A and B are shown apart, each in its own frame.
Chain A
Amino acid sequence: MVDQRTHFHAELEGLEQSIHEMGDRAHELIGMAVHALVTGDLDAAGRVREGDHVIDQLYLDVHNRWINLMARQQPMGADLRLMSVLLHMNVTLERTGDQAVNIAKLAALSHGLPMSSRIVEQVQEMGDLVRPMLRTAIESFIRRDADEARLLPAMDEPVDRINKSMYREVVALGADPQMLESATHMMMAARALERIGDQSVDIGEQVVYLVTGEFHDFNEEALHDRGSQG
C-alpha cells in the first residue's frame, strides 16, 4: 500500500530526529557535568550550561512543531502513540538537561572546597551508571526495542542503592564544616543523578507503550514482583 500521507510522515520523522538529538545532547551533558563536579573543571561547567541552552531551544522547537502537527494532522494508531511518546520524551529530556545544569552549578559552588574522595568516587560511579541508562533508553526508542527498554529498572537499582548510601557517608564525615558543605553538594548531585536514572526508566516505559500499545509502570511492576516473591 502506498503511503498516502508522506508529508505528515516526513514531518513526524523530523520531529523524532529532534528528540534523538536532544537525547544525544543530554547524554553528553551528563558526562560533562559529572566531570566538572569531580575534577572541579569550571570550563566544563560553563559548557554544560551552554549545552542546556541548546536543549531548551530544541525543546521549544519540538513543542511548537508537535502542537502544529497534532492540530493539523490528527494522527492515528502508531502515529498517535509516537506523538504521545515524543511529547513525553521532549519534557523528560529537557529536564534531564536541567539536572545536568544543576550538577554543573554544584561544581561551581564546590570549587576549591576539600572533598571526601570516597564520596567523589561514589558520585563518579553513579555518573558511570546513569549515562548508559540514558543511552539504553534512547537506543531502545530508536530501535523500538521493548525488551531492551525493560532492562532499565534493573539498571536503576544500583543507582538507587548508591544514592541511599550517600546519606550515611555524609553523616560519617562528622564535624568539619567545609567537608560537610562539599559533601552536601555531592549529595544533591547524587540526587540529580538518581533523578536522571528515573527519567531514563520513564523513557523506557514510553518505549514499551509505543511498541506494545499498553502502558506499564516499571516501578509498580518491580514492587509487585518483589511482593509476589516475598
Chain B
Amino acid sequence: MTAVAPERPVKREHQFPTDDEFVALLRSRSRKSFVAQSGFLLALIIAVLALFTLLYTVINDAFGLVAIVNAQNPEDVIAELGLDPASTSLGSLDKDQLVGLLEGSVSSGVGRRLEREQRFYADRLVFESQEVWDEICASAEAPDGCAGGVRNESDVLALVRERVVQPDVIASNDLVPSLFDRAGFEQSVRDAFVTSPARFGDYTVDQVRFEWRAWLNLDFIRSPQSSTPEIAGIRTALLGSTYLVLITMLFAVPVGVGAAIYLVEFARPSRLNEFIQTNINNLAGVPSIIYGMLGLAVLVRTFEPLTSGSLFLGEGGASNGRTILSGGITLGLLILPVVIISAQEALKAVPNSLRQAGLALGATKWQTVRAQVLPVALPGILTGAILAVARAIGETAPLIVVGAAGFITADPTGPFSNYTAMPIQIFQWTSLPQEEFRNIAAAAILVLLLLLLTLNAAAVILRNRYSKRA
C-alpha cells in the first residue's frame, strides 16, 4: 500500500551486439528473409501453373478443327433452292424455306414424328393431315405436339442441320495443334483414308471438309443428351443440377443456419453442446462417398415412399427412390456441416456489443438476434452457403451412389424425376471411347466451371454490397 520507488533498471548495452556484429547479423537476417520470400513465391507459381494447365487442357479440348462429312453440304442445299451459296448461308434462310428443306429431305414418317413432338406452325400442319391429327390428339396418349407450342426459326434451323445436312465428325483435333499445324491434321486424316479405309465406311476422302468447331456452343447447352456426340448436349444434366442445387439449398440453408443460430445465440455451454459442436466439425471432414451411402440407405431405400413421391402422387411418382429429391437432400446433408460452421463463424464475427446494446434496451434474445445480429451476419452466412452449394454442384461420388442416371435424355420435371447431373454427365462422357465425347466433356467442364465461377462471384458481390452498407 505504501509507495516504494522501484529500483532503477540498468541499461544493458553490453548484452547487445556491437555495431560490426550487428551489420553481419543483419545481413544474415536479410538473407533468411529473402529465402523464405522466394519459397512462398515458388509455391504461388506452382499453384498458378496448375490452374493454367487445367484451363489449358479443357479449352484445348473444347475447341478445334474437325473433319466432317456432310450428307448434303449446306452450299448444295442453298444452290438447290436457287440461291447464291456465296452470299447466303443456312442461318439467313427464313422459316418457310427451312421447313421446305425439311419437307424435301426427311421421310414422311420422320416428319410426322417431328410434328407430333412439336408443331411447325400454329395454323397449319406440314406432315400430318388434319383429320389424323385431331384423331391422335383426341386419343388418350396424345403426344406433346398437341399441347400447342410452335417450333421457332432457330429450332427448325437446328433440325435442318441435324436431318438435312447430317454432319458426321470423322476426326477432331485439339485447339493448339489446329492453330499451328492445320496442314498436319488434314494430312493425317487423308493418310487415315489410305491406311484404314474401313474406319470411314462409304465416305470418300473428297467428301471430307475441315471446319472450325466450338464444342461449347448454344446448341450444346440447349440440346438433350444423345448417343451421337455431334448433337449431344448438356441440357438434361444442367437442368438436373439446377433442381439438385435448389433442393440442396432449400434443405441445407434453413436447417444449417437455424442450427448455427441455436448454437451461437441460445445454447448455454454444456457437455452436450460441446459434443455436438465437435461432431459437426468432424462431419465436415467426412468423405462425400459416405454421405452417398447414407443417402442410399436412408433416403433411397428406407424413405422410398417419400423420396419417390408415391406417398403424395400414388402411381404418378417415380418407380424408386433414386430421384432428385434423394440426391438433393444427400448433397444437402453433405454440405450441412459446412453451412453450419460458416454460419457460426459469421454469427460469432458480429461484435458482442451489438447483442448487449439490443438486450440493454429491453429486447428479448430473439428480437436482438433477428433485428441486429442476423442482418450483420447475413452476408457472411450467405457467402458460406453459396460456397458450400458450389461445392455440392461439383460433387460426383455421392450422386453415383444414390443413383443419378448415367444416360438419360428426358428432362427432369420435378423433385420426383430421375435425373442426371453435370459432373455425372462429364464422368460418363469421358469414359466413352469416341474421341468426340472427350471434346464435349471438355465443353461440359467449361460450363460447370462457368457456373461455379458465377456462384462464387455472386458470393463476393453479396459480401461487398452488404459490408459497404453497414
* A contacting B, Cβ–Cβ less than 8 Å: no
Which positions in B face A, CB cutoff 8 Å? none
